[in-house]
C-alpha cells in the first residue's frame, strides 16, 4: 500500500498498478478490454464507460482498493455513492427471510420440503452476496449416506446457483468430493475455510475451476453433527471479507433446517476417501436417470410396492459412489506403478 500513497488521482493510481505487466494482463482480461485501453485511461486520454468502470472497481487489488475509491469520488461521485460496497453491505440476513424459512418448515409437506428449502436458501444467499451479478457461485454438498457398517466416505453436490460468467443452474457440476477437496477438509475439521487468491500459496486442498479467483467453504452442522457444506466461489480475489464470511456462516447455519437427524453424522463416523478427478467423474453421470429408473423398478418389484423417491435416490448415489471409489483406487494404482511396468502393457 505504501507505494500508492503518492497517487493524487485514480488515473495515476491505475498507472502505477498497470506498470506491472502481470497486473496489466490480469486487469485487461478481467475487464475485457485491451491493455492499451487501460493505458489510455491512466493517461487521461479517454474515460471508461460506466460498465467498464464497474468492472474495474470490482477487480482493483485489495491493497489499493480503499485509496482508489477515495480518489474516484472526485470524478464519479454518483457511482461511488451507489457503490460503497462494504459500508453499504447488509451484514444481517433479513428477518423476513427467517420468517419464510420457518413458514416453509411449518407448511411444506415432508416430501417437498428439502428441495423447496434448498432452492429458497440458495436464491436468497446468491442475491444477498452478489446483488450486482458480478460473478458468484454457491453449491450445496451433502454427506453421501453410507451403507450399513460403513462410514461416510464422500460428499456429493446436489444443488447450485450462480451469476455470470457461470450459468444460473449449475446442473452439470454435480460431482462427488472427498478428502482431496476443500469442502472435504472443512467437513472433517468442522470449520469454515477461505482462500483469497488462487495464485497464492495455501496448505489447503483446492481444485480451481474456470473463472474462480477466490473460494470459501462452510460446514453445515445440526446439533454438532455434520450434514454437508456450502461451497462458494467468486470471480474476484479477496471477495470473502469478514462481513461476507459471517453472513455465509449464518446461511450455513440456516441450511441445517432442511436436514433430518438421519442425514447428519458424528465426526467419528466420517472418513472421507479420495475421489477421482472431476473430468473422470463426468462420464458416469451421463446415465444417471437411466440408472435411477432401473433401480426404482428393481426395488419396487422386490418389495411388492412402489419405492420412495428419496430411498431410490440414496441407493443410486451409493452405487455411483462405489463405482467412483473403484475408479479412484485404480487411478492411484496406475500413478504408483513403475514406468517400466506401464510401458510393458
When pLDDT is averaged across residues 327-345 and rounded to a whole number, the result is 66
Q: Is residue 274 part of a domain?
A: no
Taking 80 as the threshold, does the pLDDT of residue 126 lie above it?
A: yes
> What range defines the domain where residue 338 resides?
279-344
When pLDDT is averaged across residues 38-47 and rounded to a whole number, the result is 91
Is-contact 83 57, C-beta < 8 A? Answer: yes
Strand, coil or helix: 162: strand
pLDDT at residue number 89:
61
pLDDT tens-place string over residues 128-144: 999 888 899 999 999 99
Choose one of 249, 269, 289: the last residue of a domain.
269
Same domain, 65 and 105: no
Q: Is residue 120 part of a domain?
A: yes
Same domain, 67 and 204: no
Largest Cα–Cα distance in the chain?
79
pLDDT at residue number 80:
44
CA distances from 320 to 258, 275, 308 (A): 24, 11, 19
Q: Is residue 212 part of a domain?
A: yes
Same domain, 203 and 150: yes
Choose one of 56, 88, 120: the last residue of a domain.
88
Choose one of 43, 64, 88: the last residue of a domain.
88
Same domain, 161 and 208: yes
pLDDT tens-place string over residues 72-95: 777 776 554 444 444 446 778 988
Q: How many CB atoms lie within 10 A of CB 67?
A: 16
CATH value at residue 250: 3.30.450.40
Same domain, 130 and 249: yes
Q: Domain count of the chain? A: 3
Same domain, 234 and 137: yes
pLDDT band at 343 (very low <50, low <70, confident <90, very high): low
pLDDT tens-place string over residues 104-120: 999 999 889 999 999 99
Amino acid at each position: 500500500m505504501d507505494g500508492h500513497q503518492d497517487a493524487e488521482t485514480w488515473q495515476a493510481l491505475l498507472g502505477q498498478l498497470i506498470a506491472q505487466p502481470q497486473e496489466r494482463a490480469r486487469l485487461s482480461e478481467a475487464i475485457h478490454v485491451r491493455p492499451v485501453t487501460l493505458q489510455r485511461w491512466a493517461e487521461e486520454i479517454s474515460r471508461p464507460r460506466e460498465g467498464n468502470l464497474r468492472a474495474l472497481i470490482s477487480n482493483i487489488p485489495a491493497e489499493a482498493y480503499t485509496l482508489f475509491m477515495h480518489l474516484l469520488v472526485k470524478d464519479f461521485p454518483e457511482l461511488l455513492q451507489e457503490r460503497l460496497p462494504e459500508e453499504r453491505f447488509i451484514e444481517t440476513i433479513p428477518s423476513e427471510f427467517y420468517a419464510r424459512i420457518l413458514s416453509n418448515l411449518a407448511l411444506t409437506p415432508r416430501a417437498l420440503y428439502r428441495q423447496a428449502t434448498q432452492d429458497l436458501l440458495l436464491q436468497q444467499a446468491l442475491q444477498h452476496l452478489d446483488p450486482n451479478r458480478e460473478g458468484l457461485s454457491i453449491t450445496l454438498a451433502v454427506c453421501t449416506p453410507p451403507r450399513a457398517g460403513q462410514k461416510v466416505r464422500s460428499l456429493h453436490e446436489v444443488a447450485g446457483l450462480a451469476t455470470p460468467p457461470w450459468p444460473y443452474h449449475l446442473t452439470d457440476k454435480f460431482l462427488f468430493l472427498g478428502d482431496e477437496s476443500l469442502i472435504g477438509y472443512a467437513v472433517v475439521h468442522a470449520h469454515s475455510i477461505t482462500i483469497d487468491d488462487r495464485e497464492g500459496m495455501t496448505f489447503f486442498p483446492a481444485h480451481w475451476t474456470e473463472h474462480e479467483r477466490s473460494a470459501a467453504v462452510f460446514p453445515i452442522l445440526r446439533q454438532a453433527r455434520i450434514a454437508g457444506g456450502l461451497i462458494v466461489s467468486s470471480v474476484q480475489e479477496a471477495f470473502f471479507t469478514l462481513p461476507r464470511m459471517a453472513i455465509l456462516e449464518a446461511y450455513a447455519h440456516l441450511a441445517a433446517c432442511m436436514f433430518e437427524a438421519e442425514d447428519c453424522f458424528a465426526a467419528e463416523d466420517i472418513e472421507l476417501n479420495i475421489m477421482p478427478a472431476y473430468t473422470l467423474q463426468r462420464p458416469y453421470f451421463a446415465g444417471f436417470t437411466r440408472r435411477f429408473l432401473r433401480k426404482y423398478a428393481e426395488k419396487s418389484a422386490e418389495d411388492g410396492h412402489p419405492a420412495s423417491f428419496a430411498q431410490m435416490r440414496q441407493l443410486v448415489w451409493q452405487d455411483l459412489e462405489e463405482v467412483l471409489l473403484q475408479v479412484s483406487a485404480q487411478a492411484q494404482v496406475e500413478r504408483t506403478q513403475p514406468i517400466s511396468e506401464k510401458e510393458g502393457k
